[in-house]
Amino acid sequence: MKRLTTAMTALALAGLLLGGVLAPPPAHADSRVTVSNDRGGSQADATYQTRLTLRGTGFQVVDGGFGGVYVMFGWVRDARGGGWRPSNGGLTGQDYQYIPDAEDAADNKGYLTFVAFPGSSTASEASAVLAADGSFTVDITIPGPVFQSVDRDGAVAQVDCRRVQCGVITIGAHGVKNPANESFTPVDFGDVYDQAPAADPTDGPADGPADGPDAGAGTTGSGPGTTAGTPAAGTGRAGRRAATARPLAVVDRATAVEGRAMAFSGQGFQPGEQVVAVLDDGVAAIGPMQAGASGEVAGVLQLPVDLGVGTHELRLSGAASGTEVAQLFPVAAGTDASGAAAEPVAAEDASTRGDGQPAGWVFLGVAGAVFLLAVAGLALGRVRRRPAQVPA
């Protein structure tokens, strides 16, 4: 019996030791991403493109390591089970799809972001660098609920986020498979920038909450007109003010072409206040424009010829209320009817004819011939009028 007890004790000690040897190391803190739009919510707009601010925490940091983390938007297969993860054999175009973009920040359009490890040899290509605590903050642009994905083999597939669950994807960058930095954060689509109907002063308040967590989101300032969805009704020496809609900027994308006049409109400003429109960081601007009775403005902005193809931003700012709204939009290259780059061309070149002979010389030759004919005619007339001479 004593021997049996001793044997059991030995087995227990061996189990403890073996367990200590085989026990997995403490797991790294789970990587997480929080999503927020410029209205304070977490949705992307189902009609307009949306800029989302992403804040990552708990990511693994490799000082001086190669690569980092790709942050992108797309769809994954088996999001809960994790079969999409590259570390589990997940393949691009088959197990996960995303909106393609240039990896280099200089050529990037905002659809995909590269966050580098601190001290990495590829940090110069990144949009951000992981902090020592594994956190980062970046912005990405969602063009809409439908996008095209291209896998490594060049196959193109369309993804409709209204039918499948899309979201923010993080994976190891530059082909490095790192399970600690793989995550998927679902993002839903909705009417983030929907136009609230203007209320009739005789019908009472407009539909929608006058205050709450989303009231005033996407605006700055504390004056009248900064609260979204709140009708600015009242009376005074200026008369009754019409109700204003939610602050919003809208660009006519068909006119967003380099070198052309682009039409835009805005709403949600204080009736009668002055509003200015600024393109990007001041590349072009127009204003001040006076807001209408319902707080609306409309204008036309001349886009520079060398503006550059890609995503740009138009900001509308109200002088009195401090309301500020922005809209991201794509700019196309200026082309002529044949599809080539547009260049100023005269209806017909004034220096040459169709056969390449200088037109100026042709004109001078014709004019000279006419002049000689005129001189010859004049001389012939004088000869005919001279009286005949009689020999002596």
Whether 351 maps to a domain, the answer reads no
In a domain, 78, yes or no: yes
For residues 6 and 142, the model is more confident at: 142
- Does residue 132 form part of some domain? yes
The one-letter code for the residue type at 218 is: G
Q: Is residue 11 part of a domain?
A: no
pLDDT at 350: 37
Q: What is the pLDDT of residues 259-290, one digit of tens each?
A: 999 999 999 898 888 999 999 988 999 988 98
Identify the sign of the CA torsion 196, 198, 199, 205: positive
For the full predicted model, state whether its pTM sits above 0.85: no
Q: 372: pLDDT confidence band, cut at 50, 70 and 90?
A: low
On whether both 131 and 268 belong to a single domain, the answer is no
pLDDT at 102: 78
**260 and 186 part of one domain:** no
Contact 321, 269 (CB under 8 A): yes
Q: Which of 296, 331, 366 is the last residue of a domain?
A: 331
pLDDT in tens, 350-364: 333 444 444 444 445
Q: Give the residue numbers spanning the domain of 79.
A: 32-190
Is 323 contained in some domain? yes
Shared domain check, 263 and 168: no
Structure token pair of residue 386 = 């001279």
Residue 243 in domain: no
* Mean pLDDT, range 34-49, rounded to an integer: 91
Kindly state whether residue 204 falls inside one of the protein's structural domains: no
User: Residue 46's domain is classified under what CATH number?
Assistant: 2.60.40.230
Instruction: Return the pLDDT at 26.
Output: 37
pLDDT in tens, 164-176: 999 999 999 988 8
Specify whether the CB–CB gap between 319 and 241 falls below 8 A. Answer: no
Q: Across all residues in the chain, what is the average pLDDT?
A: 73
Cis before residue 288, ω within 30 degrees of 0?
yes
Q: CA 77 from chain center: how many Å? A: 27
Domain of 272: which CATH number?
2.60.40.1930
Domain's final residue, options 296, 312, 331: 331
Total count of domains within the chain: 2
Q: Is residue 342 part of a domain?
A: no
Q: What is the pLDDT of residue 346?
A: 36
Residues 303 and 183 occupy one common structural domain:
no
Judge whether residue 374 has pLDDT over 80.
no
Report the alpha-carbon distance of residue 218 to residue 323 in Å, rounded.
9
If asked whether residues 177 and 303 sit together in one domain, one would say no
Residue (of 294, 302, 362, 291) closest to 331 by Cα position? 302
Q: What is the mean pLDDT of residues 298-311?
A: 91
pLDDT at 243 over 70: no
The residues that bridge with 249 in the sheet, in sequence order, are 266
Other beta carbons within 10 angstroms of residue 291's beta carbon come to 27
Q: What's the rounded Cα separation, in Å, for the pair 229 and 214?
A: 9
Alpha helices in the chain (DSSP H): 2-22, 359-385
Q: For a pLDDT cut of 90, what percent of the chain falls above it?
A: 35
Model pLDDT for residues 194-207, shown as the tens digit of each residue: 744 444 444 443 33
Domain final residue, candidates 171, 190, 209: 190
- Reported as a single tens digit per residue, the pLDDT across 71-100 is 999 999 989 889 999 999 999 888 999 998
What confidence score (pLDDT) does residue 6 get?
Answer: 52
CA 135, distance to chain mean position in Å, is 24
